[in-house]
């Protein structure tokens, strides 16, 4: 290939640009507007005016689509699947297909033998657990970050050999429960029980075991973390949610209610706030959403009602015109 500097064209330019004005032109035609053709079939640079070959063995930089399928068909794949950060190794293993041996059965036997290896078996168990975690989290529309944290926790359990003597379903349920807490979107034990079909006691024991062995920060569940989701499921207005949050913050400081379950406090405050604005919800409806008994909600509400003078401060009643103490239900 020949590169010739077109000095006549470069002289038109002034300043630093003239030092870098270099063109690829045909040495025979010397056309100021070169017509260079890249012939990828032969691998040559060719002058489009006179046909002079200016360069050879050029590299084709266009996309190369090839078929890597075992059978005939359209499979334009250039590379393999993306690397999975939750699996060990470089993930460059060779997988033996079952077919393609003209019916001799040799490929099937080799595939079966390969599947019996220890590395393949451990990886297969991890992939199966990851699929189950993803399916369970998708059922509750949990964000991707919670799914990834749950997978990381499960992989750490697998690497530390903590699965021995424990139910795999309980481990998965505890990992999801722990991931929700770490991401600031906690779920109640009853919600995880309904999702995974694992007994609540098993989840609690496994959760405490993983928390102590992994040394991870599990965080805590507060009433504020539950109010938004409970109110959304009950189709309550934004005004009711704001009042519920204010009532919850004031209820935390009460001595006779501070030690109660956050779910009970949140449910009772929702019951009180909904009636306060005239859009009351029955304890049964709140119980189905929160996963606690109606008697618990009524007992906690009874304490709130007895201390309503301290909870329903004048600023709350003045800020929200719909709020009226006369709307409250007498326990």
The vertex-178 CA angle with 172 and 182, nearest 5°, equals 140
pLDDT tens-place string over residues 64-104: 666 555 555 555 555 555 666 777 655 556 667 776 667 67
> Cβ distance 302 to 229 under 8 Å?
no
Start-end of H helices in 70-143:
106-115, 118-139
Cα gap 326→212, rounded to integer Å: 49
Structure confidence at residue 35 as a pLDDT band (50, 70, 90): confident
Give me the pLDDT at residue 10, please: 39
Whether 117 has a pLDDT exceeding 70, the answer reads no
User: Based on the number of CB atoms within 10 Å of its own CB, is 269 exposed (0-12), middle (13-18) or buried (19 or more)?
Assistant: buried
pLDDT tens-place string over residues 147-203: 999 999 999 888 888 877 788 999 999 999 999 988 888 888 888 998 999 998 899
Closest CA to 222 of 254, 193, 264, 191: 264
**What is the number of other CB atoms lying within 10 angstroms of the CB of residue 317?**
15
Q: Which two tokens stand for residue 219?
A: 């965080």
Region of 280 please: left (phi>0), alpha (psi -120 to 50) or beta.
beta
Give me the pLDDT at residue 13, please: 43
Cα gap 32→23, rounded to integer Å: 9
Give me the pLDDT at residue 80, please: 57
User: Based on the number of CB atoms within 10 Å of its own CB, is 160 exposed (0-12), middle (13-18) or buried (19 or more)?
Assistant: exposed
User: Based on the number of CB atoms within 10 Å of its own CB, is 49 exposed (0-12), middle (13-18) or buried (19 or more)?
Assistant: middle
The CA distances from residue 45 to 5, 40, 50, in Å, are 18, 9, 12
Structure confidence at residue 30 as a pLDDT band (50, 70, 90): confident
Give me the pLDDT at residue 147, please: 93
Cα gap 216→65, rounded to integer Å: 47
Q: At what angle do helices 189-196 and 200-214 cross, to 10 degrees?
A: 110
pLDDT tens-place string over residues 250-278: 887 787 776 678 888 899 999 999 999 88
Q: pTM surpassing 0.75?
A: no
């Amino acid at each position: 290939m020949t590169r010739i500097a077109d000095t006549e064209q470069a002289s038109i330019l002034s300043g630093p640009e003239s030092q870098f004005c270099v063109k690829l032109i045909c040495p025979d035609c010397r056309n100021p507007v070169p017509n260079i053709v890249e012939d990828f079939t032969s691998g040559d640079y060719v002058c489009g005016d006179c046909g002079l070959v200016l360069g050879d063995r050029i590299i084709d930089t266009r996309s190369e689509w090839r078929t890597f399928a075992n059978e005939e068909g359209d499979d334009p794949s250039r590379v393999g699947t993306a690397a999975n950060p939750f699996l060990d190794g470089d993930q460059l293993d060779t997988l033996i297909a079952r077919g393609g041996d003209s019916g001799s059965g040799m490929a099937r036997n080799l595939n079966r033998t390969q599947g019996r290896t220890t590395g393949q078996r451990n990886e297969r168990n991890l992939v199966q657990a990851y699929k189950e975690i993803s399916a369970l989290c998708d059922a509750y529309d949990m964000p991707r970050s919670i799914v990834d944290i749950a997978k990381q926790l499960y992989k750490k359990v697998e690497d530390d050999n903590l699965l021995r003597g424990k139910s795999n379903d309980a481990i998965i349920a505890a990992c999801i429960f722990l991931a929700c807490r770490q991401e600031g979107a906690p779920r109640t034990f009853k919600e995880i029980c309904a999702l995974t079909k694992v007994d609540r006691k098993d989840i609690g024991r496994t959760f405490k075991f993983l928390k102590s062995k992994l040394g991870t920060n599990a965080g805590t569940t507060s009433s504020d973390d539950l109010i938004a989701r409970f109110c959304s499921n009950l189709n309550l207005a934004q005004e009711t949610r704001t009042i519920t949050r204010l009532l919850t913050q004031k209820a935390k400081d009460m001595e006779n209610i501070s030690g109660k379950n956050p779910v009970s406090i949140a449910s009772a405050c929702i019951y009180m706030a909904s009636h306060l604005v005239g859009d009351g919800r029955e304890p049964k409806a709140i119980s189905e959403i929160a996963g606690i008994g109606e008697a618990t909600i009524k007992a906690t509400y009874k304490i709130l009602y007895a201390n309503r003078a301290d909870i329903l401060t004048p600023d709350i009643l003045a800020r929200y015109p719909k709020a009226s103490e006369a709307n409250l239900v007498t326990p």
